[in-house]
Chains A and B, each alone.
Chain A
Amino acid sequence: MIINHPLLGPCDAQEFIYKGDARLIDRPDGMSDGAEAAFYDYAYLRDNPAGEHRELWFHEQGDRSWLVVTRNTLTHEITSVELARDVARSRGRSA
């Protein structure tokens, strides 16, 4: 597979390490009420769709960016690649 890195252009997927569902960005607040249930859902449950999947890849043998790749799990077609940091910010994460 080829991942079109937003900063570096097309790179072989072999340079990357896969993590999984991009929802892993949405880490709950560990100090909130009901944190245990929220963390169970966060750490263990997955939509695991057959179709478009937003997922995290790490450019380990590259610039060490975490990327959010939108890829179809039926065809492996990649329709978008974003810096995970930008996605995290857009989902309200900060410091």
Chain B
Amino acid sequence: MRLPSGGQIDRTQKLSFRFDGQYYKGHPGDTLASALMANGVRLMGRSFKYHRPRGVLTAGSAEPNALVALRTGGRQEPNTRATTIELFDGLQAFSQNAWPSLRFDALAINDRLSNFLTAGFYYKTFMWPAAFWEKLYEPLIRRAAGLGAITTKPDPDAYDKGFVHCDILIIGAGPAGLMAALTAGRAGARVILADEDSRMGGQLNSERFAIADMTAPDWAAQILAELSTRPNVRLMSRTTVFGAFDHGIYGAVERVSDHLPRPAQGKPRQILWRIYSRRAILATGALERPIAFANNDRPGILNAGALRSYANRWAAAPADTVAVFTNNDDGHRTAADLMAQGITVAALIDTRADAPTLPGVECLAGAQVIDTTGRLGLNSVTVRLANGRTRKLKVGALGVSGGWNPNLALSCHQRGRPRWDDTIAAFVPTADLPPGMSVAGAAEGQFSTHAALSTGAARATQALADLGRIATPPDLPQTEDTPSRITPFWHVTGDKRAWLDFQNDVTVKDVKLAHQEGFRAVEHLKRYTTLGMATDQGKSSNMGGLAVMAELTGQSIAQTGTTIFRPPYTPVALGALAGRSTGQDFRPRRLTPSHTWATEQGAVFVEVGLWMRAQYFPRAGEKTWRETVDREVLATRASVGVCDVTTLGKIDVQGRDAAEFLNRIYCNGFAKLAVGRVRYGLMLREDGIAFDDGTAARLAEDHVVVTTTTANAVAVYRHMEFARQCLWPDMDVQLISTTEAWAQYAIAGPNSRKLLQKLVDPGFDISNDAFPFMACTEITVCNGCPARLFRISFSGELAYELAVPTRYGDALMRRIMAAGAEFDLTPYGTEALGVMRIEKGHAAGNELNGQTTALNLGMGRMVSTKKDSIGAVLSRREGLNTPDALRLVGFRPKNPKARIPAGAHLLAKGAQMLAANDQGYVTSACYSPCLQTHIAIGFLKDGAARMGESLRAVSPLTGEDIEVEIVSAHFIDPEGERLRA
């Protein structure tokens, strides 16, 4: 029902919304929960296990019961707390975990069977017959499990990430947080004040007492008005700080658009903030905890403070006649506030024999609620009076207060353990906080408003002092400073089920069973019963469960211990954590200098790490990729082809010791590399395994250009910097990665020299004599464009690689194409590149797989024993040099048309398909258009000595079994005549 007056809602405006298809109206300022309550709806959900009818328990983010599916289509959002959903016009929400309807839920049968479904029952049964678990039992359990449903449609909304720095982060804008922000803000510090609520003020928005001469909400508004004028203070409402990470970094999610029907054009739904703080003040208040008693889970039974919030802040109540059940004085405040809002309080039931009285209401001191009635909503509560008699009260709602727990979740995120405080009967944070954090107000266990204000000011003053600032704390306004009196009371004894964890349906009986079966450690209790593992992560339930276990073991709660809270404080949408890195934008794209040109040619591109490379260039009439690739290979080998090889890593090595440095980095010798010459180099990891290969071109005495594979460009550079800075810090050598600085093209084929001669500026002689195989030089091309020319060949043909500064890359490709027209120059992509390198037996990524040695690769003799190079020593270990070590060989199928699957294993003819018979494996395979047969390379045990042998390449995974002959991996021009031509 909606109360006739009061509340921070705008009664002048009406918002229309639907819940389970039914239309309702609410006001701006409402949450879905308050609006439903105002419309007389108490039943909002069903529990997880027993499908018990459930209503709202809290007025905030700790809500375990009133979970709904919000919105529809790709925006459907399961398990959303009705208590935190800000009402907007046209809102649609649906109940969850109920079929066929919320009121009549078939699986409520579980409730009747609850005696069979006690804690951990599933560990003891469903074992026989073994096959039934997966075929029968588990599918049934899975179907019943889960709460809300997700759509499998992509989320249409955008999420952003932001980074923000401050001197002091204040988490929570209640009285403590506001006073801390005021203190720090006036002192000139950079302050961020973050609060999960749409309206800052925290508990003050739910109170009726005065601060100074204002109402509590007005006082909060006044402070906020001042803070909002300060440029050094950033107010972040609707922002949940969900995690305290290392070195003062906090994770926070700002719900930018969740209160709107959909995000405004160009706006994200949510923003993930990484907040870098020098100091943080935790001012997150306290959370009320229930008392367990028989049937304490019916719709209409709320935490007392929540009942007060609904009445004061939202002018809503679940019924016109209510009762309050408490073990502490705060329950009395609730009763008083409810009466002030015109609600009839039938009784104030206080477990304390010495309970104070409250004018205007019957106080039942020393009494307990022992049962309730009402299937879909509370009808009555039965009270056992101090004198042992029982009395039934007809009420539509019951407010329950078992006391308040400091909301200290973030104080535990770096594994600080809270300490039990007897005076408030609750856990409080210890000094073992995340570095830089302090705690103020109710979060610290200071429950009066005065204490919140004063500790807020004090923590801010201290934080400012830590940062070298002197603060003048504001004068503290007059306000309530009532002591918090409580006599701990956790559960009413009885035979019926009394709920501790409402969502997961964990009752006092379950804790007793866990105790009986030896699951007494708090973590065992939690895991065995699922206590505290619901979507509220035990905010409402852990304390009660612990207390019951302590009682059973005869230990104090302090001895029993507690579980600690882990991030996130409240659940965080994965979309927010992912930000913009979704879909095509998951990772950036690196484009080569010829990318635009290749796109114009209709190239098909392929992802190579972050690079996009042209895979092949189909021409009209070509029906398969193979047709295209065969043409590219044949044309290159017949005349000339061009390929963008910019993606290969390039590292510029300069300095007096450049050659000696490379001599230590590569396993083969480099000290004597002459200026103007290129050498192939093999790099080992320190463990003796092949790391990367490439070329090093000595352009001058003190200047060498190193290339790496595309895949390892970054790792090789890092490795070389490690060697330079950490191993040989005094070598005169400088490194810089120039991968992106130079566009580089391979020009390969018998006509490549003729083509190049058209581009190279006059005065540079690139004849075979002047510029032989493995030569390098700095030249100019196309009338003065600086360039580097390397006579190196991956294809096995007469070939060059020509590099120009990247900004000329596109132009150079167009010039090359124009110059090559007369030779029928053919651009080729990575596929043709791969075919040609397999035809030549060159190792690439599939062979340099991090498991192979120089010996395996057929380069064992390259590892110099005359010098100390990285990896040389450990490459000599016995296990890497066994007589039957794998060796790189080639394979030809007996039937040239038979494809050899890469990834096939090698078995002798007639050998059984067993690992024991495994002789090696195929790494790379292709169709060779030159040899007109499929070919492959791979590793074979003692392969170098087995040329001519017949084996089977078997791939049971793909159903292939091919007879192959072992041949040299150098299929084409094994003597290397072409590349020296």
- Which residues, 719 to 775 on B, are CB-close (under 8 Å) to A? 721-722, 725-732
Residue of A19, A29, A40, A58 touching B874 (CB-CB under 8 A): A40
Is the pair B435, A36 in contact by a Cβ cutoff of 8 Å? no
A77 to B868, CA, bound (A): 38
Nearest B residue (CB) for A14: B274
A31 in the interface (beta carbon within 8 A): yes
B686 in the interface (beta carbon within 8 A): yes
14 further A-B pairs in the complex, CB-CB below 8 A; given A2-B276, A24-B726: A1-B245, A1-B247, A25-B727, A36-B874, A40-B874, A56-B722, A56-B726, A58-B722, A66-B722, A76-B247, A88-B727, A88-B729, A95-B657, A95-B729
Residue of B249, B726, B869 touching A85 (CB-CB under 8 A): B726
Is the pair A60, B874 in contact by a Cβ cutoff of 8 Å? no
> Using Cβ atoms and an 8 Å threshold, which residues of chain A touch B728?
93-95
The smallest beta-carbon distance between A26 and chain B, in angstroms, is 9
> Using Cβ atoms and an 8 Å threshold, which residues of chain A touch B686?
27, 39, 42-43
Residues of B within 8 A of A (CB): 245-249, 276, 414, 435, 657, 686-687, 714, 718, 721-722, 725-732, 867-869, 872-874, 876-877
> Using Cβ atoms and an 8 Å threshold, which residues of chain A touch B874?
36, 39-40, 43
Residue of A19, A42, A76 touching B246 (CB-CB under 8 A): A76
Nearest B residue (CB) for A2: B247
Residue of B722, B730, B869, B873 touching A35 (CB-CB under 8 A): B873
Is the pair A89, B726 in contact by a Cβ cutoff of 8 Å? no
Nearest A residue (CB) for B165: A10
- Which residues, 25 to 76 on A, are CB-close (under 8 Å) to B? 25, 27-31, 35-36, 39-40, 42-43, 56, 58, 60, 64-66, 75-76
A78 in the interface (beta carbon within 8 A): yes
> Using Cβ atoms and an 8 Å threshold, which residues of chain B touch A88?
725-727, 729
- The CB with the most chain A CB atoms within 10 A, among B247, B725, B872, is that of B725
A17 to B414, CA, bound (A): 23
A24 to B685, CA, bound (A): 13
Grouping DSSP codes into helix (H, G, I), strand (E, B) and loop, the A interface class, with mixed when no group exceeds half, is mixed
A84 to B728, CA, bound (A): 11
> Using Cβ atoms and an 8 Å threshold, which residues of chain A touch B729?
85, 88-89, 93-95
Is the pair A58, B721 in contact by a Cβ cutoff of 8 Å? yes
Q: List 5 A-B contacts (CB under 8 A).
A: A2-B276, A36-B874, A43-B686, A65-B725, A94-B728
> Using Cβ atoms and an 8 Å threshold, which residues of chain B touch A27?
686, 727
Is the pair A2, B873 in contact by a Cβ cutoff of 8 Å? no
> Using Cβ atoms and an 8 Å threshold, which residues of chain A touch B245?
1
A75 to B276, CA, bound (A): 18
Is the pair B249, A84 in contact by a Cβ cutoff of 8 Å? no
> Using Cβ atoms and an 8 Å threshold, which residues of chain A touch B872?
30
Is the pair B714, A94 in contact by a Cβ cutoff of 8 Å? no
A42 to B873, CA, bound (A): 12
> Using Cβ atoms and an 8 Å threshold, which residues of chain B touch A35?
873
Interface extent on A, as a size class?
35 or more
> Using Cβ atoms and an 8 Å threshold, which residues of chain B touch A85?
725-726, 729
Nearest B residue (CB) for A89: B729
> Using Cβ atoms and an 8 Å threshold, which residues of chain B touch A31?
867-868
> Using Cβ atoms and an 8 Å threshold, which residues of chain B touch A84?
725-726
Nearest B residue (CB) for A24: B726
The smallest beta-carbon distance between A82 and chain B, in angstroms, is 12
A2 to B276, CA, bound (A): 9
Asked whether A39 and B725 contact (CB < 8 A) given A2-B248, A29-B868, A30-B868, the answer is no
Is the pair B246, A89 in contact by a Cβ cutoff of 8 Å? no
The smallest beta-carbon distance between A64 and chain B, in angstroms, is 6
Asked whether A93 and B248 contact (CB < 8 A) given A17-B718, A43-B687, A66-B722, the answer is no
> Using Cβ atoms and an 8 Å threshold, which residues of chain A touch B732?
95
A65 to B783, CA, bound (A): 39
**Nearest 7 A/B pairs, CB to CB:** A30-B868, A2-B247, A94-B730, A95-B730, A1-B246, A88-B729, A85-B725
A42 to B688, CA, bound (A): 13
A1 to B435, CA, bound (A): 12
> Using Cβ atoms and an 8 Å threshold, which residues of chain B touch A36?
873-874, 876-877
Is the pair A66, B248 in contact by a Cβ cutoff of 8 Å? no
A65 to B722, CA, bound (A): 9
A83 to B724, CA, bound (A): 13
A58 to B657, CA, bound (A): 23
Nearest B residue (CB) for A27: B727
> Using Cβ atoms and an 8 Å threshold, which residues of chain A touch B727?
25, 27, 88, 93
> Using Cβ atoms and an 8 Å threshold, which residues of chain B touch A56?
722, 726
> Using Cβ atoms and an 8 Å threshold, which residues of chain B touch A65?
725
A24 to B687, CA, bound (A): 13
A28 to B721, CA, bound (A): 18
> Using Cβ atoms and an 8 Å threshold, which residues of chain B touch A64?
721
- The CB with the most chain A CB atoms within 10 A, among B731, B732, B868, is that of B868
A56 to B722, CA, bound (A): 9
Asked whether A95 and B731 contact (CB < 8 A) given A17-B718, A65-B725, the answer is yes
A95 to B727, CA, bound (A): 8
A84 to B723, CA, bound (A): 11
Nearest A residue (CB) for B664: A30
Is the pair A30, B276 in contact by a Cβ cutoff of 8 Å? no
Is the pair A66, B873 in contact by a Cβ cutoff of 8 Å? no
Nearest A residue (CB) for B731: A95
Residue of A17, A25, A30, A78 touching B247 (CB-CB under 8 A): A78
> Using Cβ atoms and an 8 Å threshold, which residues of chain A touch B687?
43
Is the pair A66, B726 in contact by a Cβ cutoff of 8 Å? yes
The smallest beta-carbon distance between B292 and chain A, in angstroms, is 38
Nearest B residue (CB) for A84: B726
Is the pair A60, B249 in contact by a Cβ cutoff of 8 Å? no
A58 to B874, CA, bound (A): 25
Asked whether A66 and B246 contact (CB < 8 A) given A93-B728, A94-B730, the answer is no
A58 to B722, CA, bound (A): 8
A60 to B718, CA, bound (A): 8
Is the pair A66, B868 in contact by a Cβ cutoff of 8 Å? no
> Using Cβ atoms and an 8 Å threshold, which residues of chain B touch A87?
726
> Using Cβ atoms and an 8 Å threshold, which residues of chain B touch A89?
729-730
Nearest A residue (CB) for B274: A12
A64 to B714, CA, bound (A): 11
- The CB with the most chain B CB atoms within 10 A, among A19, A27, A29, is that of A27
The smallest beta-carbon distance between A19 and chain B, in angstroms, is 7
A49 to B873, CA, bound (A): 27
> Using Cβ atoms and an 8 Å threshold, which residues of chain A touch B435?
77
- The CB with the most chain A CB atoms within 10 A, among B245, B722, B732, is that of B722
Is the pair A39, B276 in contact by a Cβ cutoff of 8 Å? no
A2 to B435, CA, bound (A): 13
Is the pair B726, A30 in contact by a Cβ cutoff of 8 Å? no
The smallest beta-carbon distance between A92 and chain B, in angstroms, is 10
> Using Cβ atoms and an 8 Å threshold, which residues of chain B touch A39?
686, 873-874
Is the pair B722, A19 in contact by a Cβ cutoff of 8 Å? yes
A39 to B871, CA, bound (A): 9
The smallest beta-carbon distance between A16 and chain B, in angstroms, is 11
A36 to B728, CA, bound (A): 20
Is the pair A30, B869 in contact by a Cβ cutoff of 8 Å? yes
Nearest A residue (CB) for B735: A64
Nearest B residue (CB) for A4: B247
A94 to B726, CA, bound (A): 9
> Using Cβ atoms and an 8 Å threshold, which residues of chain A touch B246?
1-2, 76
Nearest A residue (CB) for B687: A43
The smallest beta-carbon distance between A3 and chain B, in angstroms, is 9
> Using Cβ atoms and an 8 Å threshold, which residues of chain B touch A42?
686
A81 to B414, CA, bound (A): 22
Nearest A residue (CB) for B245: A1
A75 to B867, CA, bound (A): 43
A25 to B686, CA, bound (A): 12
The smallest beta-carbon distance between A80 and chain B, in angstroms, is 14
A84 to B726, CA, bound (A): 6
A51 to B360, CA, bound (A): 62
A1 to B249, CA, bound (A): 7
A92 to B249, CA, bound (A): 37
The smallest beta-carbon distance between B123 and chain A, in angstroms, is 34
The smallest beta-carbon distance between B247 and chain A, in angstroms, is 4
Asked whether A66 and B721 contact (CB < 8 A) given A27-B727, A43-B874, the answer is yes
